A = this chain, B = another copy of it.
Amino acid sequence: MAAKKPFHHGDLKRALLDATLKLIDAETVSGVTIRAVAKATGVSHAAPTKHYSDRRQLITAAANAVFGEIVELTHQRLATSEHPARERLISMAHVLYEYALEHPNRYEFIWRRDLVDHDNPDIMTTMNKLYYGYDMPVDESAMDTGFDSDTLAVLIWSLVHGYVDLRMKGMFEERQDLKTGQDRLPAMIELLREAFFRTP
């Protein structure tokens, strides 16, 4: 049984998702065509429509998987003792940064509004898990300056995302004077830490 080519695949939905992520890694999200995914999975060109109504739904599922990975990494990092809970924001910044550098194509496409439905229920629950690590990130007592902690959270999130985004787009490589210190995020985070957090 299940010899060579069973008519039914078994777990085609999952296989399509894997093929999608593989395509994204290999040639960015623009390489993700329904027909290419179908061919990579060894299935007819319209088969994916039985599991994902849309190209957008397929890519949204892939984005959900990526966000899930990031949530997982975040929880792992927050569990270690070397990263005190009162500096959760700092920890999350590093996780995001390292993930983006390691999987640039993935980090890029998950923010694409036209390809990813961020209102999708699955996406929203995954995002909530991520936000949950953000929800009590800055213990008020850990702040020197008395600035609004929500503002500080948005600041750090924006900073990390912005730096990663611009860096992946090569915006900092073209300038002579910025060419040297390639990896600027740690310095920036340290700068913020000294400005807004007590030294332990």
Distance between Cα atoms of A160 and B155 in the complex (Å): 9
From B30, B158, B175, B194, give the contact of A166 (CB < 8 A).
B158
List the B side residues contacting A111 at CB < 8 Å. Answer: 165, 169
Interface residue total, chain A, C-beta cutoff 8 A: 43
Is A147 an interface position by the 8 A CB rule? Answer: yes
Which residues in chain A, 139-182, are within 8 Å of chain B measured between CB atoms? 145, 147-148, 150-152, 154-155, 157-163, 165-166, 169-170, 172, 174-175, 177-178, 181
Least distance between A160 CB and chain B CB atoms (Å): 7
**Which of B150, B162, B194 makes the CB contact (< 8 A) with A162?**
B162
Given A124-B174, A150-B181, A155-B191, A165 and B161 contact (CB-CB distance below 8 Å): yes
Contact flag A28-B114 (CB < 8 Å), given A159-B158, A162-B165, A195-B145: yes
Chain B: CB-nearest residue to A114:
B30
**Given the complex of chains A and B, what is the CA–CA distance between A145 and B108 in angstroms?**
34
Please state if A166 and B170 are interface contacts (CB–CB under 8 Å).
no
Which 3 residue pairs are nearest across A and B when measured between Cβ atoms?
A: A162-B162, A158-B162, A158-B163
